[in-house]
Structure 1
Amino acid sequence: MVDHLVFFALKDDVSEADERDLLESLRALREEVPNVRDLTAGRDFSGRSGEYTHALFVRFDDAEALKSYATHPAHLAVVEKLEQLTTGRIVCDYEH
Structure 2
Amino acid sequence: MIEHIVLVKFSQETTNGQKQELIRRTLELKNIIPGIVDIQQGINFSDRSQGYEVGLTVRFKDRESLENYGPHPAHQEIVTYLKQIGMEDSIIVDFEI
The alignment's TM-score, normalised by the length of structure 1, stands at 0.93
Give the whole-Å Cα distance in 2 for the aligned partners of 1:38 and 1:67: 16
Aligned to 1:88: 89
Q: Which runs of 5+ in 1 are unaligned?
A: none
Q: Which runs of 5+ in 2 are unaligned?
A: none
One-letter code aligned to 1:32: I
Give the whole-Å Cα distance in 2 for the aligned partners of 1:17 and 1:60: 28
When you count helix as a share of all residues, which structure comes out higher?
Answer: 1
Aligned to 1:38: 38
C-alpha offsets along residues 12-37 of structure 1, whole Å, 9 cap, x if unaligned? 11123222211111111111111100
RMSD, matched Cα: 1.1
Give the whole-Å Cα distance in 1 for the aligned partners of 2:27 and 2:48: 23
What count of residue pairs does the alignment treat as equivalent? Answer: 96
Task: Give the stretch that moved more between structures: 32-41 or 13-22.
Answer: 13-22
Give the whole-Å Cα distance in 2 for the aligned partners of 1:43 and 1:62: 27
Alignment partner of 2:36: what SS? coil
Give the whole-Å Cα distance in 1 for the aligned partners of 2:24 and 2:57: 14
Is the 2:35–2:62 contact (alpha carbons within 8 Å) kept by the matching residues of 1?
no
The alignment's TM-score, normalised by the length of structure 2, stands at 0.92
Instruction: Detail structure 1 runs of 4+ shifted over 3 Å in the superposition.
Output: none
